[in-house]
Structure 1
Amino acid sequence: MKTVARQIVGVYFVGIFVLIPGLWAATMNGYGGWDSMVGQLQFSNVSNFSTFLMDPSTGTLYLGARDAILAVDSSSLRQKHTQIIWNVPEDKQQSCVGKGKTEGDCHNYIRLLEFVADGRIYACGTYAFDPQCAVINMLDFSLERAEDGSVRMETGKGKCPFEPSQHYTAVMADGVLYAATTSNFLGTLFDISRATGSEGERIRTEQSINWLSDPEFVSSSFIKERSDTGDDDKIYFFFTEVAKEYDLYTKVKVSRVARVCKGDVGGMKTLQKRWTTFLKAQLVCEDRASGQRYNILTNVFTKEHRPGDPSSTQFYGIFTSQWEREELSAVCMYSLADINKVMAGSFKELKKNCENWMNPDPIPNPRPGQCITRALKAAGFESSLKLPDKVLTFVRDHPLMENSVVSAPLLVRRGITYTRIAVTLTPTANSDQGSAAVLLLGTDRGELHRVSVVGQNATLLQEVPLFTAQEPVNNILLYQDQALVGSPLSLARVAAEGCGVYPTCEECARAQVLGCKWSLKEGTCTPILIGPLQVESEDALKLCDTGEARCAPVLKELRVVEGLRVLLPCVQVSPRPCHWEYPPDRHTRQHHAHLEVTVTTASLGSYTCYCEEGRRDGPACRRATYTLTLEGPQVGVSVSLAGSRQVVAVYLFCFMAGVVFGGFLLHLFRKRRGIRHAPEKGRDLLPSSDTPQSPSSTSLLSEGVPLTEKRNGTLNGHGGLYSNAGGLKLQESAANLAEELGSTDRMGRLGAGLGARSEEELRSEDETVVERVDERMDAFRGAPLAQCEENSF
């Protein structure tokens, strides 16, 4: 145990010394040194940051955490921050725990921070599964209090979730809060509501699975869409829910966008205090070439491509797939015009008699779900209260649109899980291409990825590690020329755009389409200020000394042995396909962009992955290259399963022979010394049945020697083998024999009778034991060995 403890301590200290340089490199890599990073140690007893709010007039960043709200100067993160403690009383925490919740969840997790009028902030927290809201005075950064000194609070139900981990979104529109959250303690009821304002103006969704079916809310946006027709402003909600239009054996999740009008006040009789403009449509993110569809939405960023023009709004969403087991992320973009076009289309209806979705006909007039425009007001419909019951009944029963909002992925990454997205627009070097979108993508491993998107071409520019692998990125906020990136424990500030963010020649060459070039004289990435782009991308990569460029990867040599299976990774950024070049005599299998190779003498050689990232007729980009070389057999890797079973059989035979021989030597020793032992002493001579050395212990033999998770010599990173279940009968018989011969009771009786028995009696008994062992071992020798399992990947 001391040896194991010393090894654990050694690994711990090695991890510390490995981690510290990594954090230093991540912090000092061109982003302002330690001033760029605010870690958990600088926030005394504060963690679980979940909400960001930026005051653009002062540059102050407000952070919502567990039991606290912090104010940080974004221009200098090292300056001392101020904080408000807003915790839960002890008796309320105990009551929460008594209802079956964990102590960790029975705190006040701040989930909402939004500006309201007169320099105040509206804040809401879970408050031990009893959501509460309060107002923060920004002048002295304090919670408003009642006359008795207590915090002035109001209920947060419908404004804030009950549980810290529940999916939730909210947005403030002209001082009124619109929220999408759970509305009960159990988390089984869901609402999209106008959560503040006068009591008569508070309306919400209908409690119907046709409106919301077990949704997971993702994001919300307030879009001012007033035009010459007098159209109303709208609030858009993005979420994933269980589809009711698909009648399959399993629950199918789909991504949705829902829309409500800001001026909606509900119906007079039908849909009273309910939305009369609630419409939703499916978001489809699909790669048509491969037929791959990504159906689960995880995050959305709203961006106006032309500032001041709401019609140019684009929504960038991160998707994953319900059907994929491996990590996978895709990014799709949807325009506001495409969403509005679908919302103005036909409705979807479920016919109860045949259980098929069909288009209803006819649609009543005025059109259900539309906002109150000048034309409707001229026709006598001044508000939603004036709408006819047939219109309200129709929109109540048909909230789903027939058509879907379809988009192709801008990029697809396998082996990566993106958690947050932000988008900046940068002029390109080629004026004909307009502007390029630079995607800032946070991962679940604390990294920030930069990807440029020009037309249909996506290029991975940079991967920056910001936090430890256990800290997922949960917030990205853009302010001026910087991006504030947060995790549950830390905060980092990095440059949002500009050529200076690319510290190496290779990264600068990838960003050439953004108007960047590498200055050999200065050793920095500088913008191209005058004239058009003169150097082609491939030529720019050749200017770099090292070969670690986007289309010139480093050759990696892998030393392997025959019979192994190795997986050669290839990073696929664009949704367009990748292909491999390899030796003709081989046994391979492609998993998306990655390649699985079964090592034989004929499969040795060079393997190169090419991915299409530009035009379909353009040259493919070389993303990875490997060479497989053969080395000598390794212990535990090249041994066959048949050999493993023979080794187990020999081991059992030797072990049992050793037990018998040891007992015989013990008998001779006792006879020679003339020592008489009590039964308890006899039991102490055998190992404990709890230890792995004991034949009766299940930890050694009864698990089939599971040295690895792969089977039949498949490499899994540990170089082990998996012994199949066919040898369990042999192991079980050996264990039973060991238990019968080596039981403590028998040895106790043997030790107790040593002095009372004659030498002939003892010799006779020993011969009997040896004969029984020989009989059992003969049975083992004749037992057939189990057949090998079939290879499986």
Structure 2
Amino acid sequence: MGTHSLLPLAVALLGLLSPCVTRLTPRVSFLMGSPGRHLIRFSSPDVSNTTTLLLRDDGDVLYVGARDAVLELDVSHGDAITLKSKLDWSPSDKDLEQCSMKGKKMADCPNFIRVLQFLNTSHIYACGTFAFSPRCTYINSETLTMSSKPDEGRGRCPYDPYQRNTAIIVDGELYTGTVADYRGNWPVISRHLSEGRRVDLKLDDTLGWLEDPTFISSTFIPDEEKIYFFFSEVGREYDFIDKFIVSRVAQICMSDVGGQRTLQRRWTTFAKAQLLCQADSELPYNVIQDIDSLPPAQGAPADDTLFYGLFISQWSVNSGRSAVCSFRLADIKSVFSGNYKVLNRDTLQWSTRVQEKVANPGECGLHNASDNALRFVKENFLADDSVRPFGRSPTMVSAEHNYSHLRVQRVQAANSRDYTVLFLLTESGYLHKVVLLQSGAHIIEEIKVFEQSQPVKNLVLSIPKAVIYVGTSEGVVRVPTANCSFYWTCAQCVLARDPFCGWDPASRACVKVSDSQISLGQDIDRGNVEEVCNSVSITHRVRFGSNKLPAASCPAGELVSVSLNEVVRLQCPAASQLSQQLWERPNSRLSSDLYLHLGDGSLSFVATPTTLGHYLCLSTENGYQQTMAIYHVKQRSSPMAPTSYTRHHTHALPTTQSVARPGPGLHMSGGVWPNRITTEQGGTEPTLSSGDTQVTTRQLGGNITLWTLKSGQKEDEFWDREPQLLARGPCYLKELVVVSVLLVLCLSLLVTLLLYVFKQRCRRRTVPQARTPTRDSDRRTPVEQEAFRENQFQSKHNGQALQSGQASGLVCNGAFTGSNGHLPNTPI
């Protein structure tokens, strides 16, 4: 059986061995325009394809390469992005006509800016596709004007705007990875803008150093004086029927100037190796999408530099999955210093065999080597071993999201520990913020940044400014990396497990760690609310007691007036997408025969005398419970047709002694907070005051009472005084006492009457009574008549005992008890 026939079987077996991937759910989700996640957008009717971004070192100016233009945006203000200047750079009508004559679509013929790099402190080097005839130019960064006439950009910029490329300028020299021909069949890694004794270099194309690559990124490691390129290509070392895509890392030395005779004006230090993002017994995630470098922590060696790569799989069994793998620089260097594969020139097949090393491929300083050594490195450029992920397994695997771009940042938490935070952009337009923990990846939040999927996007992270910029064809979006003010309580702040945020007990607010000089409450690894928030008066949830509710604990909340036999549905807003909702009643169990728990956490039932009363909605997350809503379902006082109402994200304020504000909803959109009620009917707004704190109660359609802040009142004052205020809410304690007294009087009268009847019957049994014999008694013998009288006496005695037992069962501690052992919920 050959290699070709073994491939499908191997794929099938590995697919069966692949374990189930843990579902990663974002804790909080923000839709576009959500007031809970403030984003700044820039767009202009005459600007499109703003996909190439370049941020100035101070973070105040963002240069954008767009279609037929270069923009200078002022991003120094936190509340707006403004256009400072615009440089138009578009092809002439003649250039567009020639592009069309080549068979290209007119939509692809404009000048798409694909290279934008700082050349020095005063100039920017820019290249564009320019109607499938690449051009490059120098731009004055102060005046945003061209300093010279554009020159040819072949080998520096792609022809096709949809082809990916990479470019980086180091010490005034441009290193690029792109295609150097019109058809896109000649890939090159080259150096340009060399001066003095240094010359421009490119790859030798006689042996196929690159096989149909897709360039992803390039980075400079100062301690190594090397440029590393990351790309994917066809793996010719694998003899498969289908093209097997592999991910690569390649390196070149900055000091390389080419050989004297062999490899003249060609790289002598080029070497490449496979990046293997794969877990044990799983198919590899073999197609790299994006990569970003994470410098080592302060005081750590350069070898601890990590490269976080984003991968997908070409195999259908892993379709729709994305994986993040990290690679350590020390492991990459180890692979490049090892053995290399040998290429058979006759068959063009790669093989692995131990051979004598004439030179060390990838070693810097080979430009002065002998021709024999240069021929050896020319033919042996593929490392034998593969670079495996740090920790020998993927850092994160997602089965639900197709990620396209990635940025990474190291964040110091309140406990002075460092945590790695990933920013992942999905194909559907969401930005995920992920913190990497020992227990696995935790998605803190997801943010909808654009509506439509974009073919070309870019991410730029500004660590000093704590923002991330997303470049799309619709415009530029600025997303703050921290959103601490969204978490209103200590519990929510801790459960977010966001390294950027911590709870400040003095101001009773969730604040940015970098802005605070005091000790903050935070638990990134475990999210233990009880341990962190005990010192700041944590809010404990209210539970109904087993006895009657006293006046002080009579629960206020949302009043729902219903008619009997009406279907009631109570909503339970979730604190997050990771929480679970549950319902409770005082002294009662929610039987599945009467109640239906719906998938969205709501509770549905039919209004009957048994189901009237109070309901408590609880949310549980990571072992912590909090009250989300309290309802009082009551029968209408006057007969009327059932009033239909629609509520979205209904929320009643909890009435604990120390009240937590309502938790965030699952989705925030349209400027409507999830802890508000939307009904189809209006109502009046009487004002209720307590001291100097005022709230407004609004009767919505006669069904729902909603507590809201009065205009101008400080929110913190309301939350601090809310327990005393809500205690004055609707309470029927007086009516309950009157009814209880009446019931006790009725029971006493009934017991007295039963005792009197029993006493009279006992007296009749002791007094002889004359009996009139009947025809039946005349026919009985004396023995039968005596037995008949005895049976009648026992039957009467048993009947009286049964009635007495039933009567005594109606009284329990001086009050009526129902079948479930508590006071019936009789409407007043």
- TM-score bin, normalised by smaller chain: 0.5 to 0.7
Aligned to 1:306: 297
Which of 38, 42, 46 is the matching residue for 1:38? 42
1:416 maps to amino acid:
H
Question: Is 2:137–2:150's contact at 8 Å kept on the other side of the alignment?
Answer: yes
Q: 1:108-187 maps to which residues of 2 (within 5 A)?
A: 108-117=111-120, 119-145=122-148, 152-187=149-184
3-state DSSP of counterpart to 2:278: strand
Is the contact made by 1:137 and 1:143 (CA closer than 8 Å) also made in structure 2? yes
2:579 corresponds to: 552
Contact 2:495 2:529 in 1 (8 A): no
Correspondence 1:399 to 2:381: yes
Task: Give 2:481's aligned residue.
Answer: 496
Letter in 2 for 1:466: V
User: Is the 1:193–1:202 contact (alpha carbons within 8 Å) kept by the matching residues of 2?
Assistant: yes
Amino acid at match of 2:32: L
Q: Within 5 Å, which residues of 2 pair with 1:181-330?
A: 181-198=178-195, 201-208=199-206, 210-226=208-224, 233-288=225-280, 290-306=281-297, 310-324=302-316, 326-330=319-323
Q: Distance in 2 between matches of 1:504 and 1:107?
A: 52
Distance 1:454 1:153 in 2: 49
- For 1:439, the equivalent position in structure 2 comes to 422
* Shift in Å, 1:178: 0.3
1:98 corresponds, among 87, 98, 101, to: 101
Q: Residue 83 of structure 1 aligns with which residue?
A: 86
Residue 451 (structure 1) aligned with residue 440 (structure 2): no
Query: How far did residue 495 of structure 1 move?
Result: 1.7
Q: Which of 421, 425, 435 is the equivalent residue of 2:406?
A: 421
Call closer, same or farther: CA 1:503–1:488 in 2, change over 3 Å: farther
Instruction: Tell me if structure 1 keeps the 8 A contact 2:189–2:203.
Output: yes
CA distance in 2, matches of 1:181, 1:473: 16
Alignment CA distance shift 1:305-1:549 (3 Å): farther
Residues 1:23 and 2:26 are matched in the alignment: no
User: Contact 1:243 / 1:252 at 8 angstroms: preserved in 2?
Assistant: yes
Question: In 2, are the aligned partners of 1:504 and 1:524 still within 8 Å (CA)?
Answer: yes
Q: 1:475 aligns with which of 437, 449, 458?
A: 458
| Cα distance in 2, alignment partners of residues 526 and 385 from structure 1 | 52
Q: Is the 8 A contact 2:123 2:141 kept in 1?
A: yes
Within the candidate set 314, 332, 336, 1:339 is matched to 332
Instruction: Say which one has the larger Rg.
Output: 2
C-alpha distance in 1, partners of 2:185/2:491? 51
User: CA offsets per residue over residues 432-485 of structure 1, 9 Å max, x none?
Assistant: xx4110101112222110000134621111101111133467122122122122
The aligned counterpart of 2:594 is none
Shift of 1:38: 1.5
How has the CA–CA distance of structure 1 residues 343 and 465 changed in structure 2, closer, same or farther, with 3 Å as cutoff? Answer: same
Question: What is the alpha-carbon distance in structure 2 between the residues aligned to residue 122 and residue 534 of structure 1?
Answer: 46
Q: Which runs of 5+ in 2 are unaligned?
A: 1-29, 542-572, 582-596, 602-665, 667-828
1:264-314 residue CA offsets vs partner (Å, 9 max, x unmatched): 1111121111111001000011122x5131000010111213258533321
Higher fraction of helix: 1
Mapped contact 2:70–2:86 kept (Cα < 8 A)? yes
Verify the 8 A CA contact 2:291 2:309 in the aligned structure 1: yes
Q: Against the structure 1 CA distance between its residues 533 and 260, is the aligned structure 2 distance closer, same or farther, given a 3 Å change threshold?
A: same
- Output the CA distance in 1 between the equivalents of 2:337 and 2:353: 14
**Partner amino acid, structure 1, of 2:41:** M
Query: 2:278–2:284: 8 Å Cα contact kept in structure 1?
Result: yes
Matches of 1:553 and 1:388, distance apart in 2 = 70
Seen in structure 2, the aligned counterparts of structure 1 residues 456 and 534 have a Cα distance that, compared at 3 Å, is: closer
Query: Structure 1's 244 and 473: CA in aligned 2 closer, same or farther, altered over 3 A?
Result: closer
C-alpha displacement of 1:354: 8.3
TM-aligned CA distance change 1:544 to 1:556, over 3 Å: farther
Contact kept, 8 Å, 1:438 with 1:452, in 2: the verdict is: yes
**What CA distance in whole angstroms lies between the structure 1 residues aligned with 2:385 and 2:423?**
31
**Residue segments in structure 1 that go unaligned for 5+ positions in a row:** 1-20, 146-151, 227-232, 373-383, 560-623, 625-793
Task: Read off the aligned partner of 1:398 and give its amino acid letter.
Answer: N
In the alignment, is the contact (CA less than 8 A) between 2:207 and 2:379 conserved in 1?
no
| Contact 1:446 1:472 survives alignment (8 Å) | no
For the 8 Å contact 2:134–2:158, the answer to whether it is kept is: yes
Please show how residues 507-526 of structure 1 align to structure 2 within 5 Å. Answer: 508-512=493-497, 514=499, 516-517=501-502, 522=508, 524=510
Letter in structure 1 aligned against 2:384: E
Instruction: Please give the alpha-carbon distance, in whole angstroms, between the structure 2 residues aligned to 1:329 and 1:131.
Output: 34
Aligned CA distance change for structure 1 residues 472 and 102 (closer, same or farther; 3 Å):
closer
Q: Which residue of 2 aligns with 1:705?
A: none
Mapped contact 1:429–1:512 kept (Cα < 8 A): no
1:388-442 alpha-carbon deviations (Å, 9 max, x no partner): 11211111111100111111211111231212111111124556xx411010111
> Structure 1 residues 142 and 502, CA, compared in 2 at 3 Å: closer, same or farther?
farther
The answer (yes or no) to whether the contact 2:61–2:75 under 8 Å persists in 1 is yes
Range with greater deviation from structure 2 (526-535 or 86-95): 526-535
Q: What is the number of residues matched between the two proteins?
A: 506
CA contact (8 A) 1:61 1:72 kept: yes
| Identical aligned residues as a percent | 33
Which of 360, 368, 372 does residue 390 from structure 1 map onto?
A: 372
Greater shift, 278-287 or 467-476, is seen at 467-476
User: 1:513, CA displacement in angstroms?
Assistant: 6.6
Describe the shift of the 1:302–1:514 C-alpha distance in structure 2 as closer, same or farther (beyond 3 A).
same
Q: How does 1:339-358 map to 2 (within 5 A)?
A: 339-351=332-344, 357-358=350-351
Question: Which of structures 1 and 2 has the larger relative contact order (alpha carbons within 8 angstroms, sep 6+)?
Answer: 2
Q: Report how far residue 360 of structure 1 moved.
A: 4.2
Per-residue Cα deviation, 1:19-54 (whole angstroms, up to 9, x for no partner): xx95321xx33436xxx1213xxx231101121111
Alignment partner, residue 65 of structure 1: 66
Does the CA contact (< 8 Å) of 1:109 and 1:127 recur in 2?
Answer: yes
Q: Distance in 1 between matches of 2:269 and 2:131?
A: 34
Contact 2:250 2:271 in 1 (8 A): yes
Amino acid at match of 1:173: V
Partner Cα distance (1:219, 1:140) in 2: 29
Question: Within 2, Cα distance between the matches of 1:474 and 1:544?
Answer: 45
1:119 Cα offset (Å): 0.3
Q: Judging changes above 3 Å, is the alpha-carbon distance between structure 1 residues 505 and 322 closer, same or farther for their aligned structure 2 residues?
A: farther
Find the aligned partners of 2:230 and 2:467 in 1 and give their Cα distance. Answer: 26
User: C-alpha distance in 2, partners of 1:88/1:473?
Assistant: 21
Cα distance 1:404–1:547, how it changes in 2: closer, same or farther (>3 A)?
same
Distance in 1 between the 2:244 and 2:266 partners?
A: 27
Cα gap change, 1:234 to 1:110, in 2 (>3 Å): same
> 1:495 touches 1:501 (CA, 8 Å); kept in 2?
no
- Structure 2 partner of 1:599: none
What are the residue-to-residue correspondences of 1:608-647 with 2, within 5 Å? Answer: none
C-alpha separation in 1, matches of 2:304 and 2:508: 39
Give the conservation status (yes or no) of the 8 Å contact 2:112–2:129: yes
Any conservation in 2 of the 1:510–1:550 contact (CA below 8 Å)?
A: no
